[in-house]
Structure 1
Amino acid sequence: MKILAQPRTAAFFDLDKTVIAKSSTLTFSRSFYQGGLINRRAVLRSAYAQFVYLLGGADHDQTERMREYVSSLCRGWNVNQVKEIVAETLHEVIDPIIYDEAASLIEQHHAEGRDVVIVSTSGAEVVEPIGELLGADRVVATRMVVADGCYTGEVEYYAYGPAKAEAIAELAVSEGYDLARCYAYSDSITDVPMLEAVGHPHVVNPDRAFRKEATAREWPVLTFERPVRLRQRLPTLAMPPRPALAAGAAVAAAACAAGLVWYASRRRSARATAARFTTV
């Protein structure tokens, strides 16, 4: 009797405030400053924006306006320089803020035979190395147009909202995933389309509005609160990471960090508060 192979499955993870405790791009702001991509004022404002983001994140309108500003700001930046900065500082800035609970889930899904896919609005220059660090099998991230080794300032693909769900659907076709048996995790209400796309959606560290939405949909709500270095976890997590395969070309992740200069500039009255968080 011929035994039919089971369809493949995957677990899809948002990145910021789901797998790691902060904004991935903002966390690199000091490294970008040291590399000459942003100035001292931008570091100050990025630190303040990180604080605001941790308190409640950015809504849809803020995110869209920030994206437009970032697209203009990054024009002319050297792609290889961004990649080098991220590679040199990855373990220093990202390893300490990975949620222990998320790392355990990633380990569990791999042990049960599922692929792990990071699906993030952040730029691929940041998301791809983090995905590799985590042992992810694939990465979906925002990307921008590159010409002559530099960003043109135009967005080629924006991994946000419904676009995440579309990317998951495309992966399901190309990789043979049975989405009804797949899992997804996110902290953001803008990721509802991604969560709707799978049979096992999970909400992580939601704000009040998203918690209400999760309750109405009877989606499980998880609390992640223990950032820990991967090297401090069980020895099984010390194995070489799986290769992270990008779902598209690279994006100016550094621009995303500096782009929050725009957000903070709208809050000039809070400069004193911003100064308190220059070391965040």
Structure 2
Amino acid sequence: MRLALFDLDNTLLAGDSDFEWAQFLIEQGVLDREVYEARNQQFYDQYKAGTLDIHEFLDFQLKPLARHPRAQLDAWHAEYMRSKILPMVAPGTPALLDRHRDDVRVIVTATNSFVTAPIAAHLGVEHLIATDPEQVGGEFTGRVAGLPSFRDGKVRRLDEWLAARGLAWSDVAESWFYSDSLNDLPLLERVHHPVAVDPDPTLRAHAEGRAWPVISLRR
């Protein structure tokens, strides 16, 4: 098996889908701007600094899903895709994905699967490993189900994904992981071909020190 893994936010997208989902809900008047905007920015800054408490963030990010019927959430998401996500796809993303068209392609993201599954489908990526919101009867509870796909959790979730298909890491003959973030160092260290994409300063320094390729999808 040849496995091509892609981070989503600030990698395939020239922006952060998690941050923009909250901003979209604020702009729609679903979330109170005064209460949520500063908190959303604070979590985003913590993520970029590598100090994010993922469970505190997920409590913030998933609670709004529990306050509205799934049909309404899906309608908002369709507009969010049109107005926020489609313009955010990095110019080099289609060509990169096409380069791996004969490999097994997986988006591996910390952002929840409600937000990211339609994005993966739009990009034509067949598989998604994301943080899963808990659902009961098709409606969200506001809690997370299982292990968040974040930092070391991405490695563990990938192993679980392989195991569900009767495979192990030893069955992967060649692998790539494309990411922008210092938070993804555990999975970058795991693969055969780690690639830093428009990286943050910490990842750039690490990549240059290890002679990893550094590329941009934004030009």
Partner of 1:231: none
1:171 maps to a residue whose letter is W
Question: Which of residues 159, 164, 171 is equivalent to 2:154?
Answer: 164
Percent of residue pairs identical: 27
| Partner Cα distance (2:130, 2:108) in 1 | 6
Match of 1:17 in 2: 10
Any unmatched runs of 5+ in structure 1?
Answer: 1-7, 227-280
The equivalent residue for 1:220 is 213
- Quote the residue 1:106 is aligned against: 97
Q: Distance in 2 between matches of 1:35 and 1:109?
A: 37
Three-state SS of the structure 2 residue aligned to 1:100 is coil
Please report the RMSD computed on the Cα atoms of aligned residues, expressed in angstroms: 2.9
More displaced stretch, 176-185 vs 8-17: 176-185
Opposite residue 144 of structure 1, the aligned amino acid is P
Question: Whose radius of gyration is greater, 1 or 2?
Answer: 1
Q: Which residue in the other structure is 1:81 paired with?
A: 72
- Higher RCO (CA < 8 A, seq sep 6+): 1
**Deviation (angstroms), 1:82:** 2.0
The total of aligned residue pairs comes to 215
- The 1:48/1:69 distance shift into structure 2, 3 A limit, reads closer
Give 1:43 deviation, angstroms: 6.5
Q: Does 1:146 align with 2:135?
A: yes
Contact (CA 8 Å) 1:184, 1:200: kept in 2 or not? yes
For structure 1, which segment, 75-84 or 86-95, has the greater mean C-alpha deviation from structure 2 after superposition? 75-84
- TM-score between both structures, scaled by the size of structure 1: 0.66
Which is richer in strand? 2
C-alpha deviations, 1:183-216, integer Å up to 9, x for none? Answer: 1111111111212222111111222221222223
TM-score, length-scaled by structure 2 = 0.82
1:83 Cα deviation from its structure 2 partner: 2.4
Contact kept? 1:179, 1:197, Cα under 8 Å: no
Q: Distance in 2 between matches of 1:26 and 1:209?
A: 21
Aligned partner of 2:107 in structure 1 is 118
Structure 2 runs not aligned, ≥5 long: none
* Alignment-derived partner of residue 91 in structure 1: 82
- Superposed CA deviations along residues 28-79 of structure 1, whole A, max 9, x for unmatched, are 33542465531233574378569x65x9824234545423444556554434
CA offset digits 1:70-96 (Å, max 9, x no partner):
455655443443222112331321111
